[in-house]
Amino acid sequence: MTDEANYASVDLADYIRIVARRKWLILAVVALACAAAFAYARSQPTKYTASAQLEFPEPAQPVASPNPKVIQGYVQDQASFVKSQTVAARAADILDTATEPRSLLADIEVVTNEESRVVTVRATAETAAAAQRQAQAFAQAYVQLRTEEGKADLDRVLATKDATVAAADDALAVASRQYDAACRDATEARCAIALRSLDDATQALSEAKVDRANAASTPIDAGRILSPAVRPTKPSTPGPVRTVALGGLAGLILGICLAFVRDRLDSRVRDKAEIQSTIGLAPLASIPLFPERYRKRSTALITVHAPDSPEADAFRRLRASVLIAAREVGARVLGVTSANASEGKSTVSANLAVTLSQAGHTVALVSADIRRPSLEDLFDRPLGPGLGEVLEGSATLDAVLHMVSSSLAILPSGNAAANPSDLLLTPRMHRVVANLRDQYDYVIIDTPPVLAVADTLGMVPIIGAMMLVVALDSTTAAEVTEAEEQLARVGAKLIGAVINRSAPDSQRYYGYHRKDQ
């Protein structure tokens, strides 16, 4: 496959993800568009359209060559006449209506053909009968006016022909008298000349009468109605169903456009590919969004409450990735942090510690987020003395360390009165971590958010490797980048990111699980 094909497939996949991610916005826009279209359809009156087919007469002056432009110009002129006040006034007389001719013209349309004298006269009205009558009336009005015009032209021609016949008749009478006089009083030669004049006058009269008869018998070409208007059986205006469908289509297009604009303006991290491009590290694991019943702190330890769930399996995947990454950098003290608060770092720390202990490793889980402790609630432990008191010197490590199981111990945050940043930088903190590292295979430290306080940055020298928890659709790419830069600035070994609250994909897990049973 070529690079261009790869890019095209990636772009298409991105577009599909954007549409899926913004599906509720798109559906909302479609619903609003459909509602608006339905309201518009209900507010519009029902209209009917009827058509009559009309053929214009031949041009008065025949065209020497069938030039389409000349024919088209003639047809356009006749179409303009159909939509004139003169035709509209005659149509009003035919309809016997008091409606103004100008109002009738507003509902008339003449559809022409480029190379034909046949046109369609369309009329639109609020009833089928009215539409039929108006279309037929305009076609009849045009033919009537052209007929009257033709008759007037014929009357003028016949008047001219009658004058010619009368002049020929007078000339014949003169020639007849001259013939009689020449043959009676003159010589035979003059009589012959008078006879020829008489014959010529008789021939001229006969030709004038024939010419007049031919003109009188010439039919008047006023055009004709080829197809009378027929009463329409259904409205021509789109019904509610069609209008709503068009509105829904327009809403879909608008919704998709808004989805892409919203997605472009939204800087939140949305998938693991974006994480990788932001911090340049492949994600360690993707933790799906917990079901509703496991989103409380008392049930968020899903590796204990639902060990066969796909969410617990995701933490086992995280465990495998962390073990490999930690072995590569030679770290047994692992810090878990996030850019901001409420991204699930404590839940990730606790469940990771549980899965490590379930795999046979001894684990010490340290609640170093002294300002906002959460681990105690996850393990249902009372908020008593803990790390804070050890760092202040008022308690010993063994006294405050709680054994959850034979392989998992938790060091709560405690109730320190001093500033947490100052406590976490004391030599006692170094000794606490060193003691735990000597006693346990792994030490997991739940640290405060990087961008919220400076506590985590101060602990970097005693932490072998860091993991950055990123909650999808919550943290922005800029925040992830800033957190990574701050950790790198103080020399932290960032082994990867943990994508939290991703879209659940339990079908594959449960399908494989059922097949094994």
Mean pLDDT of 359-380: 87
Is residue 4 very low, low, confident or very high in pLDDT (cuts 50, 70, 90)? Answer: very low
The DSSP output letter for 476 is B
| pLDDT tens by residue, 461-503 | 889 899 998 887 777 777 888 888 898 898 889 898 888 877 6
Does 187 or 332 have the greater pLDDT score? 332
Residue 284 has which token pair? Answer: 């360690």
Closest CA to 47 of 239, 228, 229: 239
Mean pLDDT (the chain, rounded): 82
| pLDDT tens by residue, 232-255 | 888 877 767 777 788 888 888 888
pLDDT at res. 436? 94
Residue 198 has a CB neighbour count (10 Å cut-off) of 20
Alpha carbon distances (Å) from 363 to 17, 141, 333, 458: 39, 101, 10, 23
- Predicted confidence (pLDDT) at residue 272 exceeds the cutoff of 70: no
- Which range is least confidently modeled, 96-100, 119-123, 322-326? 96-100
Domains in the chain: ranges and CATH: 3-44+238-265 (no CATH), 48-227 (3.30.1890), 272-516 (3.40.50.300)
Q: 319 with 355: CB under 8 angstroms?
A: yes
Mean pLDDT of 225-236: 85
Residue 386 has which token pair? Answer: 């803990």
Q: 302 with 351: CB under 8 angstroms?
A: yes
| Cα(248)–Cα(296) distance, integer angstroms | 40
- What percent of the chain shows pLDDT beyond 70? 86
Mean pLDDT of 407-424: 82
Is residue 2 very low, low, confident or very high in pLDDT (cuts 50, 70, 90)? Answer: very low
- Which range is least confidently modeled, 103-112, 157-166, 335-344, 410-419? 410-419
Mean pLDDT of 107-125: 84
pLDDT at res. 81? 86
Closest CA to 212 of 169, 252, 254: 169
| Cα(82)–Cα(69) distance, integer angstroms | 20
Is residue 62 very low, low, confident or very high in pLDDT (cuts 50, 70, 90)? Answer: low
Q: How far apart are the first and last CA of the chain?
A: 40
Does 512 or 362 have the greater pLDDT score? 362
- What percent of the chain shows pLDDT beyond 90? 13
Residue 79 has which token pair? Answer: 């179409």
- Which range is least confidently modeled, 71-80, 266-275, 316-325, 469-478? 266-275
pLDDT at res. 274? 61
| Cα(213)–Cα(162) distance, integer angstroms | 10
Instruction: List the 224-227 sheet strands across, edge first.
Output: 108-113, 116-125, 48-55, 224-227
pLDDT at res. 91? 87
- Predicted confidence (pLDDT) at residue 111 exceeds the cutoff of 80: yes
> What's the Rg (C-alpha) of the chain?
50
Mean pLDDT of 369-397: 84
Is residue 375 very low, low, confident or very high in pLDDT (cuts 50, 70, 90)? Answer: confident
Is residue 220 very low, low, confident or very high in pLDDT (cuts 50, 70, 90)? Answer: confident
Mean pLDDT of 348-377: 90
Helix ranges (DSSP H) in 379-459: 387-392, 397-400, 420-424, 427-439, 455-459
| Cα(334)–Cα(464) distance, integer angstroms | 6
